[in-house]
Structure 1
Amino acid sequence: MSKQISYSSLNNELKSSQIGVNASELHGLLTGIIAGGIQDKSWQVLLNDMLNNGQSLAGELSTSIEHVYEQIKEQLADDNFEFQLLLRDEGLFEQIDDMVDWINHFLLGLGLAQPQLMKVKGDVGEAIYDLRQIIQLGYDRDDDQEELAFAFEEILEYVRMTVILCYDEFTDHYSSKVLH
């Protein structure tokens, strides 16, 4: 698998290019588009519309974003379930905030890829509903850090599995694999 992109390097590239999202938000948006079933180059048009008023992103940032896109695609297609959300490495409160930003943008990307998302039923519909509830949860900086960290890890794993569930639901796996 290709080298993992770091939150800080991607975030710095986004800031220096004056793109109004952080690394978690971008990763969530791209993941939502991919999990929503978009497997062709149309993801670039959606991304440019959302981030840069329809204009193509320039130079190194464009290359980095393509790398992130390919990495997400690889991880979601991998049977080992190695997909991870891109969050800051330190600070529990910062990671929780990043996760909420990530989920918001994941839902946005998923909705762009699946315009009828609100009509989805069953396990996937319930999981998407749960994501909407998760982003409304709050925390208090005075809360027990250990309990909060445990809850965060549990929710993070649920979000990760929900992403994989959505990917399995909306992606045509047979078009990219040879059947024997």
Structure 2
Amino acid sequence: MTTSSIYTQLTIELKSQEIGLTAAELHGFLSGILAGGNHDETWHILLSDIMNNGQPVTGQLSTLINALHTEIKHQLSESDFEFQLLLNDQTLYSQIDDLVGWVNHLLLGLGLVQPKIGKMKGDIGEAIYDLRQITQLGYDKNEDPEQLAFAFEEILEYVRMATILFHDEFCARIEPSKTLH
């Protein structure tokens, strides 16, 4: 299934169940939970609390979300950096809007599973600071579209790599050590 069709299917299901999240925000939230080190089934509870007033998500939307969670988990755990953000691909402006929502929800997911993340130092602390700045992004439709597209691609890559950094940092802490006999 293509990224565009996944985005479209999620959008349709979210709207049909009157859930006020975009597909990008949902992807960002799940990415934050996973990058923050949550790999057990409690993510369902966190997701229900955030997007459905504590009620479990059911039907086709539940199936899509479970598949998305599995895909994100796989992408983040691979060593080939294949993790990608799920954004609307219609226009540059819709991608920028989605990126801001994605980052906001990444930070929300991270904050829920790593409550002290705002106090971290080093690369993690810098990345959190930068992501908070990215959530303030705006654009002027009179800007040169080529320059705007270039800036967007640079920021997108930074966000992608920051998410991988979080995953590497927080998941390394929870992996059981191997005992040699």
TM category (shorter chain) comes to over 0.9
Q: What secondary structure does 1:172 align onto?
A: helix
Q: 1:58 to 1:6 in 2, by over 3 A?
A: same
Structure 1 residue runs of 4+, over 6 Å off? 176-180
Question: Distance between the aligned counterparts of 2:176 and 2:88, measured in 1?
Answer: 33
1:24-78 Cα distance to aligned partner (Å, 9 max, x none): 0000000000000000000000000111111111111111100000000000001
Please name the residue that 1:143 is paired with: 143
TM-aligned CA deviation for residue 119 of structure 1: 1.2
Q: Which runs of 5+ in 1 are unaligned?
A: none
TM-aligned CA deviation for residue 18 of structure 1: 1.0
Q: Which runs of 5+ in 2 are unaligned?
A: none
The answer on 1:52 being equivalent to 2:52 is: yes
Question: Distance between the aligned counterparts of 2:174 and 2:121, measured in 1?
Answer: 23
Given that 2:88 and 2:98 are in contact with CA atoms closer than 8 Å, whether structure 1 keeps it comes out as yes
Count, aligned residues: 179
TM-aligned CA deviation for residue 127 of structure 1: 0.6
RMSD in angstroms over aligned alpha carbons?
Answer: 1.9
The answer on 1:98 being equivalent to 2:98 is: yes
- Output the TM-score relative to the length of structure 1: 0.94
1:120-152 Cα distance to aligned partner (Å, 9 max, x none): 110011011000011112210000000000000
Q: 1:41 to 1:3 in 2, by over 3 A?
A: farther
The answer on 1:126 being equivalent to 2:126 is: yes
AA at the equivalent of 1:126: E
TM-aligned CA deviation for residue 175 of structure 1: 3.1
Q: 1:136 to 1:52 in 2, by over 3 A?
A: same
Q: What secondary structure does 2:158 align onto?
A: helix
Seq. identity, %: 57
Please name the residue that 1:161 is paired with: 161
- Output the TM-score relative to the length of structure 2: 0.93
TM-aligned CA deviation for residue 3 of structure 1: 6.9
Please name the residue that 1:66 is paired with: 66
